[in-house]
Structure 1
């Protein structure tokens, strides 16, 4: 008796590659909310969203509003908006806008990438500066999304070109272990990621099989700030 394979070899291989491609596909739109804490105390609420902008571009935004303590008293808010295109599973930067507003202070930063000239222009209101762009470059707002997608693809060490004020800076991150993390969205066996090339106090915890964003993020550069996931909804 001859036993035939369930699928011809070429068909089986084709389905395998299709499954791998589906797993590695960039995420669709979503909306996530976070509690923002400073020094362990509630400070605000952040809304993070991704949506298609047309013509192969995407808009990724983070809107933080002060709801407690000094941030609420000052009416503080921060809006960060990134425009990018997918380069594989990397959100390659097209533009980035930052706006900080309080009762007594406003601050802005505008970053634009001209990929025809491979040039980045940054303007903070004191005169624009330019520098060379780098393929696969992200910026500070889209960085956590890029890290989450790298972890989803099984990477344990990640080097990302990041557009900062005066240059493209290669930033290195590494999975340092697994930890149980409890946040308002639930309890997760999360991968902890730390920045390894600078003492910036950046740590993030991801459940990459569930979300492309961190379930918790801690950053001590410029303040003892934490973000804890409250909800995530695919659009």
Structure 2
């Protein structure tokens, strides 16, 4: 359910958008795939490398040299990492692979789990967050902002640092998650660009789930800011396509 919620925030529905790719002009280069892998942060490179190990002759392999060049740039070189001029043809190749090769879709699903779901479980566990809703909140935060410091202002380590002093002063997991979402939403709303403030609605929906006490994420789940209600479904059927 956590993956379906975040997919709704990212794509407007709970379907896995393996073929999605777009330059959002958010200083991350191309954003693509089931959880928004990006050329600017280097996780898209990892997806293509994993795919190429299993399918050497694929339509994305020719882009590896440029993807590696971008990933090798300093984290401070935001302009350099967001440059897509050397990636002409990547969007068409990505969509072709996603539409025609089940292996590529499977690689995306596996990498999403390794890069985002597992770190979410680890970070949540470190602060005593165990509920499905809590894990979903951590997962969505990491998908949007990263579990490392790629995003210098808004990222999981910084949020944990800012909420650390509240861990023992709030009423259990619910209280802590409330503080985490409050700080995250304020950071998004106050960020000086046109990207993060517009995405604050996803945090409002998570706050509504928390206020409703739906810690087990029992469907149906209404995400009011996105006008979507998630009904019961087999998550594995959606996200693993071998």
The TM-score normalised by the length of structure 2 is 0.27
Which is helix-richer, 1 or 2?
A: 2
Higher relative contact order (CA 8 A, sep 6+): 2
Length-normalised TM-score, structure 1: 0.28
